[in-house]
Structure 1
Amino acid sequence: MSSVPVYMINTLRSLRTKLGYSQNEAALMLGISVKTLQGWEKNAERIPYEKIKLIERVYKTPQNYIFFGKESAFSEILKKYKAV
């Protein structure tokens, strides 16, 4: 499994699919139910911090490059390009 370029990542779901994990596989690695993962992929604002850190380790991607709410490193990068 290769590293995913951070500029391509903007959601938890897109990161999971780019890494080639099914929802079942990802849920198992994260120690949660598939239903919980589905909820997080729809609304990541409710993910407990300790699970965010686990997602970061399992997905091998810094949390700042996964879209967790309205403000993220990805959205900040986009803002800079739009402002130019």
Structure 2
Amino acid sequence: METAAIPIEVKHTIGDLRFRKGLSLEQAAEDMKSVGIKTSDKTLGRWEKDSSVLSWNQMQKFAEYYEIPLDYIFFGPNNAFSEK
């Protein structure tokens, strides 16, 4: 059974967001519980390395946690959809 891979922009973006916030994988996994993402540091690391797939709901929660528009996760900060 094939699973769709996370686009390269997404996996790099979620890792970059965590890095910019100055969080370790452990800290981020614990903090994400505040928005309803129940994950471990190992799963978070797999998402960042593209060895596990995020659901649409999880991506929405990531956007909420990092206080960014959802399109930022897909297209980065310099896109026509992100608020400037």
Contact 2:59 2:70 in 1 (8 A): yes
Query: How many percent of aligned residue pairs carry the same amino acid?
Result: 29
Cα deviations across residues 44-76 of structure 1 (Å, max 9, x unaligned)? Answer: 87101111111111111122112xxxxx32398
Tell me which protein shows more helix as a share of its residues: 1
Aligned length: 63
Q: CA RMSD in A?
A: 2.5
Which consecutive segments of 4 or more residues in structure 1 shift more than 6 A? Answer: none
Q: What's the TM-score once normalised by structure 1's chain length?
A: 0.61
Cα 1:26–1:75 change in 2 (3 A) is: closer
Q: Which has the higher Rg, Structure 1 or Structure 2?
A: 1
Which amino acid in structure 2 is aligned with residue 23 of structure 1? L
Residue 9 of structure 2 corresponds to which residue in structure 1?
Answer: none
Q: What's the TM-score once normalised by structure 2's chain length?
A: 0.61
- Uncovered stretches (5+) of structure 1, i.e. residues with no partner: 1-9, 67-71, 78-84
Verify: 1:39 aligned to 2:46, yes or no: yes
